Amino acid sequence: MHDLAGKGPIMQTVMTQTWELLTEEQKKKVTVMRMDMIIKFLEMKICNLEKMIEIKKEAIVNVRKAQEMIKQGKC
């Protein structure tokens, strides 16, 4: 809840006021939920990056095959 940079001043005020109303136990729960969301976001991002790496590996294999065919005069 402390990284509200980039949010509007009204949103910062509302979030700060809301945060101050929570008990310590509620703050812990909200923090854990927020961390879970961040972890899920990062997992999705990693998954997407892994897919892109696989696509690029396949592309490299195909380019090498095409280069080999060109060298052999088959293309």
Residue 67 lies in a domain: yes
Distance CA 47, CA 63 (A): 24
Query: Which among 24, 34, 23 has a CA at the least distance from the CA of 1?
Result: 34
Q: Assess if residue 1 is contained within a domain.
A: no
Count the domains in the chain.
1
Does 41 reside within a domain? yes
Tokens 């939920």 belong to 33
pTM (predicted TM-score): 0.61
pLDDT, the chain, mean: 88
Residue 13 lies in a domain: yes
CA 37 – CA 6 distance, rounded (Å): 19
- Rounded to an integer, the average pLDDT of 13-24 is 88
Q: Containing domain of residue 49, as a range?
A: 9-72
Average pLDDT in the 57-75 region?
91
Alpha helices in the chain (DSSP H): 9-21, 24-72
